[in-house]
C-alpha cells in the first residue's frame, strides 16, 4: 500500500486530520464476499455486545453512588470506562458495513487499550487488599460472634450490677442494723461506768441482755443470708406442690382454725416444680404466716395459692384479703431486712428479706402487689423448669 512509503509524522498528521474520513476504504459489505447471513450475524452480534456493554457500566455507577461504603470505587469507575469503550469498539465494528471510519475506530481501540491497562494496573496495585477483603459470609460470621460476645458482656454487667446492689444492701445492713445495737451497748456501758447508784446500775444491767440478744439475732440473720448467697452447691429437688404445701400448712393448723381461715389451692397448671426443698418450705412458711399475721380484723382470712406456667418458668402466687400494704410507700422497702409495715409484735422484717435472698440465689424473682385494706399478693417466679 502507498501509506507504507510515507514518513511516520505525515502518517500521524493524515490520521488525525482525516479522523472521520472514509474515502480510503470501501464499506465492509463490499470488502470481500459477505453473504447477508454472515454480514448480519456480524452486525447483530456486535450490536448485542455494544448494548450490553452500555448497560453494565450504568449498573456499576448506580451501585457505587447509591450504596455508601463500597470498597475500591476507583476500580469500579475503571471497569465502567473500559466496558463502555469496549462496547463502542463493537458499535464501530458494526457500523463499518456502511461507514468505514477505520481511523476513528482505531483511535477508540487505542483508548480502550489504555483504559484497560489502567484497570489492570489498578487491580495489580489493589490486589492484596481486594484478596484480604472479608466476604459477606465472613462479615456475618464475625457479626454473629460479636453479638454473642456482646450478649455475654450484657449478662455479666447485669450480674455485676445485681451483685453490687446486694453489696450496697449488705453495707447498709452492717452500717445500720448491726451498728444500732452496738451503739446501745456502748451507751449502756458508759452509763454503768459513771453511775454510783445501785438501783440505777441494776436497771442498766437488765437492759444489756436484750440488746445483746438483739445483736445476736441480727448477726445470725446476716450470716444466714450470706450462707444462702454462698451456697452454690444447693440442688433442686422435685417438689410435688400439693404435698409440700400440706406439710407446711400443718404448722399453721391451730391458727387456721382460730381465724376460720379459708385456703384455696390450685396447682393444676403446674403441679410440680424443681427447687431446693429447704427454700420452698421457707417460702411457703413465710408467705402463709404473713397472710395470717396481717389479716384484716374485719374479715375472715381467705388465702389463695396457685401456680401458673409462663414463658420463662412457673409463677407461684399467694394472695390474701388482709391488711395490705401501701405499695407507694413500701415498694423499695418491702424485701429489705428489718423493714416492717404493721404494728404487730411479731413483725421483724426478716421473712421477706430471706425469701427474696433465697429466690435470687436460685435466679428466680419475687414481687408483690397490694392495696391497703384489700390484701396482698406475692408472686414467686421459678426459672429453668423445663427439665
Query: Rule CB under 8 A: which residues touch other proteins?
Result: 171-172, 175-177, 179-180, 183-184, 186-188, 191, 207, 210-211, 329, 333, 338-343, 347, 349
Cell triple for residue 301? 382470712
CB of 316 to other proteins, least distance (A): 27
CB of 184 to other proteins, least distance (A): 5
CB of 289 to other proteins, least distance (A): 17
Cell triple for residue 278? 429447704
CB burial of residue 232 (10 Å; 0-12, 13-18, 19+)? exposed
User: Between residues 23 and 332, which has the closer beta carbon with respect to other proteins?
Assistant: 332
User: Between residues 155 and 326, which has the closer beta carbon with respect to other proteins?
Assistant: 326
User: Between residues 300 and 342, which has the closer beta carbon with respect to other proteins?
Assistant: 342
User: Between residues 108 and 211, which has the closer beta carbon with respect to other proteins?
Assistant: 211
Q: How far is CA 231 from the centre of its chain?
A: 28
CB of 331 to other proteins, least distance (A): 12
User: Between residues 239 and 325, which has the closer beta carbon with respect to other proteins?
Assistant: 325
CB of 387 to other proteins, least distance (A): 41
Nearest to 26 by CA among 105, 99, 84: 99
Distance CA 286, CA 350 (A): 9
Amino acid at each position: 500500500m502507498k501509506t507504507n512509503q510515507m514518513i511516520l509524522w505525515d502518517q500521524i498528521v493524515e490520521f488525525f486530520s482525516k479522523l472521520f474520513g472514509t474515502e480510503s476504504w470501501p464499506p465492509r459489505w463490499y470488502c470481500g464476499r459477505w453473504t447477508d447471513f454472515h454480514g448480519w450475524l456480524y452486525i447483530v452480534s456486535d450490536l448485542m455486545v455494544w448494548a450490553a456493554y452500555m448497560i453494565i457500566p450504568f449498573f456499576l455507577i448506580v451501585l457505587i453512588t447509591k450504596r455508601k461504603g463500597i470498597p475500591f470505587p476507583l476500580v469500579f469507575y475503571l471497569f465502567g470506562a473500559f466496558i463502555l469503550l469496549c462496547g463502542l469498539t463493537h458499535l464501530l465494528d458494526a457500523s463499518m458495513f456502511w461507514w468505514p471510519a477505520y481511523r476513528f475506530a482505531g483511535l477508540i481501540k487505542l483508548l480502550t487499550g489504555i483504559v484497560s491497562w489502567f484497570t489492570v494496573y489498578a487491580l495489580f496495585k489493589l490486589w492484596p487488599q481486594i484478596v484480604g477483603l472479608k466476604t459477606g459470609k465472613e462479615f456475618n460470621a464475625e457479626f454473629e460472634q460479636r453479638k454473642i460476645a456482646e450478649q455475654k458482656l450484657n449478662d455479666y454487667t447485669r450480674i455485676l450490677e445485681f451483685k453490687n446492689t446486694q453489696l450496697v444492701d449488705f453495707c447498709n445492713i452492717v452500717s445500720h442494723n448491726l451498728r444500732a445495737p452496738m451503739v446501745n451497748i456502748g451507751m449502756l456501758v458508759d452509763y454503768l461506768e459513771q453511775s454510783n447508784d445501785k438501783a440505777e446500775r441494776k436497771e442498766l444491767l437488765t437492759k444489756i441482755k436484750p440488746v445483746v440478744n438483739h445483736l445476736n439475732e441480727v448477726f445470725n440473720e446476716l450470716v444466714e443470708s450470706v450462707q444462702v448467697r454462698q451456697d452454690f452447691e444447693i440442688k433442686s429437688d422435685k417438689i410435688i406442690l400439693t404435698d409440700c404445701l400440706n406439710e407446711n400448712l400443718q404448722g399453721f393448723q391451730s391458727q387456721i382454725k382460730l381465724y376460720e381461715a379459708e385456703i384455696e389451692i390450685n396447682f393444676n397448671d403446674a403441679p410440680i416444680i424443681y427447687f431446693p426443698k429447704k427454700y420452698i418450705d421457707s417460702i411457703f412458711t413465710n408467705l402463709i404466716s404473713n397472710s395470717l399475721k396481717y389479716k384484716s380484723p374485719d374479715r375472715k382470712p381467705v388465702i389463695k395459692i396457685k401456680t401458673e406456667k409462663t414463658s420463662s418458668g412457673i409463677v407461684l402466687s399467694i394472695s390474701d384479703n388482709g391488711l395490705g400494704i401501701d405499695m407507694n410507700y413500701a415498694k423499695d422497702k418491702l424485701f429489705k431486712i428489718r423493714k416492717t409495715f404493721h404494728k404487730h409484735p411479731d413483725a421483724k422484717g426478716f421473712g421477706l428479706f430471706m425469701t427474696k435472698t433465697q429466690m435470687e440465689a436460685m435466679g428466680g424473682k419475687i414481687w408483690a402487689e397490694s392495696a391497703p385494706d384489700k390484701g396482698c399478693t406475692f408472686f414467686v417466679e421459678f426459672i429453668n423448669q423445663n427439665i
